């Protein structure tokens, strides 16, 4: 009877998850095998036709390559900056909370606000930093207009907005490390790097792995900053699977193909989640 009450209490959350996650996900999977345009009541089953079409499209492979490069950037640069900042803040007792608020501030701002700040203050070729450098005689190209730098310019904006969040997460995890282990390592003569490597890092490894999985998932779902800053251009230099699917679904009304792209995106997230689950079970068994 007691367990039955638990299930009753869980029922609202289960129904909510089914209504906003499971059912739309199943519908997306079904639509990916049809030629639905998003408007017509007629839906024709075409099997793997949408998948064959997107795999034959060079833009799809361009977007996939950009997503992979984006993922590599985000599992390295913001992770390193966030971890370094967290370690530096760990030993700081004065104004530590203030620093955390400052680091986290870009993350809590709306993406449109961050995008406008960078477009007007940094990237604007007339009034921004780029414009100022040009006025003093430096021939600085517009990063968002260059196919070789556009992706990294957009990534820089997203990294600036994201690394503070990682700092706060890593700092909270570092503070959970048992102090007796830290003091014992210091008593044995371990230096700062050795204490971090052999005491702190093993303690926060589950958090690091979880954040890696989340970064990989979010990297293949990224949309907002790319769409706001470049819309996938120039010449598909910043095209992502998400913007590619958006164009297919809302510009050309090929909702079936857009759903097929969405399934491909989901597969990368599922692979990352499955790998994390495997690692978690391995740690439990060991």
Q: Tell me, yes or no, whether 6 lies in a domain.
A: no
Q: What's the pTM?
A: 0.89
Q: Tell me, yes or no, whether 21 lies in a domain.
A: no
Tokens matching residue 214: 């989340």
Q: Tell me, yes or no, whether 48 lies in a domain.
A: yes
Q: Which of 80, 208, 77, 207 is nearest to 155 (CA)?
A: 77
Alpha helices in 32-110 (DSSP H): 49-55, 58-74, 77-90, 96-108
As for how many domains the chain has, the answer is 1
Q: Tell me, yes or no, whether 18 lies in a domain.
A: no
In terms of residue numbers, what domain contains 159? 29-285
Burial class (CB in 10 A: 0-12, 13-18, 19+), 189: exposed
Q: Tell me, yes or no, whether 118 lies in a domain.
A: yes
Q: Tell me, yes or no, whether 207 lies in a domain.
A: yes
Alpha-carbon span 242 to 221, nearest angstrom:
6
Alpha-carbon span 196 to 202, nearest angstrom:
9
CATH number of the domain encompassing residue 177: 1.10.3720.10
pLDDT one digit per residue (tens) for the chain, 286 residues: 567 777 788 888 888 888 888 888 889 999 999 999 988 888 899 999 999 999 999 999 999 999 999 999 999 999 999 999 999 888 777 777 888 888 889 999 999 999 999 999 999 888 888 888 888 888 888 899 889 999 999 999 999 999 999 999 999 999 999 888 888 988 888 888 899 999 999 999 989 988 998 999 899 989 999 999 999 999 999 999 999 999 999 999 999 999 999 999 989 888 888 888 887 776 655 5
Q: Tell me, yes or no, whether 234 lies in a domain.
A: yes
Q: Are 87 and 208 in contact (CB under 8 A)?
A: no
Alpha-carbon span 94 to 96, nearest angstrom:
6
Q: Tell me, yes or no, whether 1 lies in a domain.
A: no
Q: Which of 208, 114, 112, 100 is nearest to 159 (CA)?
A: 114
């Amino acid at each position: 009877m007691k367990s039955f009450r638990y299930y009753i209490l869980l029922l609202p959350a289960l129904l909510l998850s089914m209504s906003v996650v499971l059912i739309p996900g199943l519908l997306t999977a079904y639509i990916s095998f049809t030629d639905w345009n998003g408007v017509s009541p007629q839906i024709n089953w075409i099997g793997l036709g949408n998948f064959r079409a997107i795999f034959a499209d060079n833009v799809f492979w361009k977007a996939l390559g950009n997503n992979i490069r984006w993922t590599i950037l985000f599992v390295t640069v913001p992770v390193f900056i966030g971890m370094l900042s967290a370690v530096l803040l760990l030993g700081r007792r004065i104004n530590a909370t203030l620093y955390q608020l400052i680091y986290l501030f870009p993350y809590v701002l709306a993406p449109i606000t961050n995008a406008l700040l960078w477009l007007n203050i940094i990237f604007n070729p007339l009034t921004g930093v780029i414009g100022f450098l040009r006025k003093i005689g430096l021939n600085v190209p517009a990063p968002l207009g260059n196919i070789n730098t556009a992706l990294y310019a957009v990534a820089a904006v997203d990294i600036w907005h994201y690394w503070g969040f990682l700092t706060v997460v890593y700092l909270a995890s570092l503070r959970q490390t048992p102090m007796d282990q830290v003091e014992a390592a210091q008593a044995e003569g371990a230096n700062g790097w050795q204490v971090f490597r052999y005491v702190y890092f093993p303690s926060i490894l589950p958090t690091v792995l979880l954040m890696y999985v989340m970064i990989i998932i979010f990297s293949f779902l990224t949309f907002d900053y790319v769409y706001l800053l470049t819309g996938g251009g120039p010449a598909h230099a910043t095209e992502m699977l998400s913007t590619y699917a958006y164009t297919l679904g809302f510009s050309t009304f090929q909702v079936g193909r857009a759903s097929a792209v969405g399934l491909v995106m989901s597969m990368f997230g599922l692979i990352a989640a499955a790998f994390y689950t495997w690692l978690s079970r391995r740690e439990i068994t060991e």
